[in-house]
Amino acid sequence: MEHHLKHFRYVMGENPVTVFAFSLFSLILFLALFGPWIAPYDPLATDAANVLQPPSWRHICGTDQLGRDVFSRVIAATRLDLGIAISAVTLSFVFGCALGCSAGFWGGWTDRIVGRFSDTIMAFPLFVLAMGIVAAMGNTVENIIYATAIINLPFYARVARAETSVRRQAGYVHAARLCGSGNIRILATHIFPNILPPLMVQVSLNMGWAILNAAGLSFIGLGVRPPDAEWGIMVAEGANYIVSGEWWLAIFPGLALMLAVFCFNLLGDGLRDLVDPLRRT
């Protein structure tokens, strides 16, 4: 445990950008976990007397067309958007890695089937495919998660397949096999830890894409349904009022969306260094 903490401090001290990314991620995670308790107003409470109020000391991000506090809704949306992204990326990571490792380790028909499956998904424009899945299954949060996981799955399958096929003939794999380890054990304890660094970079990128995908579906009306607070919905509703001067309705949720995607794009290098066995030595 002490060795892992020392390695974490080393990675943090080596790259200031990683420190900034992890600090921003910690803030997003804090807002997602404790947002309902720190939001100054109920994000769903309407107030007809304070409709479309500009930013002020009372409402630091202004109010929307129903008198709801924009700042409270941006905070409340963090939990929903982050939850969708984490759930979707977890599903695509687990199933994509399982398929990719199997294809790269055993090859043959397994490799062909996984390859054709990945090619079939990537043959479509991914956002259009997500739109079709959600439109067919219904625009619920669960279906948004499934659609986002499906379109991200080929990325993990391809990376895992490529990295596993390179390492399946490595010396440590032959040594483990001579010691009596089975194929599953070799995959789980010897190959998978060594292919994690590029996969963690992919996880970081896919987190940003998953948030953008959920927001994009909500923006076109196929995502989370009102009155739930979600960044894409808030930007879509606020876009109708920019011309009339109520800029804060779209700007603040748009900034939150931008910072979240920016954070996960920066996080990849730090995650790669943390899980890379070579860096720990």
Read off the CATH number of the domain in which 82 is found. 1.10.3720.10
Taking phi first (over 0 means left), then psi (-120 to 50 degrees means alpha), and beta for anything else, what does residue 108 get? left
The answer, yes or no, to whether residue 281 has pLDDT greater than 70, is no
Chain centroid to Cα 280, Å, comes to: 26
Please give the pLDDT value at position 19: 81
Does residue 50 sit within a domain? Answer: no
DSSP assignment of 152-179, as one string?
HHHHHHHHHHHHHHHHTTSHHHHHHHHT
Of the pLDDT bands very low, low, confident and very high (cuts 50, 70, 90), residue 227 is confident
Does residue 54 sit within a domain? Answer: no
The answer, yes or no, to whether residue 280 has pLDDT greater than 80, is no
Does residue 120 sit within a domain? Answer: yes
Does residue 49 sit within a domain? Answer: no
Does residue 103 sit within a domain? Answer: yes
The answer, yes or no, to whether residue 35 has pLDDT greater than 90, is no
Of the pLDDT bands very low, low, confident and very high (cuts 50, 70, 90), residue 222 is confident
Token representation of residue 42: 């109920």
- Average pLDDT score over residue span 85-114: 92
Please give the pLDDT value at position 188: 83
Of the pLDDT bands very low, low, confident and very high (cuts 50, 70, 90), residue 274 is low
Counting the structural domains of the chain, the total is 1
d(CA 227, CA 230): 9
Of the pLDDT bands very low, low, confident and very high (cuts 50, 70, 90), residue 9 is low
The answer, yes or no, to whether residue 11 has pLDDT greater than 80, is no
Tens of pLDDT along 38-48? 889 988 888 88
Token representation of residue 253: 């949720």
Of the pLDDT bands very low, low, confident and very high (cuts 50, 70, 90), residue 189 is confident
Please give the pLDDT value at position 83: 92
Q: Residue 11 belongs to what domain range?
A: 2-42+62-280
The answer, yes or no, to whether residue 4 has pLDDT greater than 80, is no
Please give the pLDDT value at position 196: 85
Strand partners, 69: 63
Share of the chain above pLDDT 90, in %: 35
Does residue 268 sit within a domain? Answer: yes
Does residue 20 sit within a domain? Answer: yes
Does residue 256 sit within a domain? Answer: yes
- Average pLDDT score over residue span 241-245: 85
**Which of 60-64, 224-228, 246-250 has the lowest average pLDDT?**
224-228
Residue 26 CB neighbours (<10 A): 11
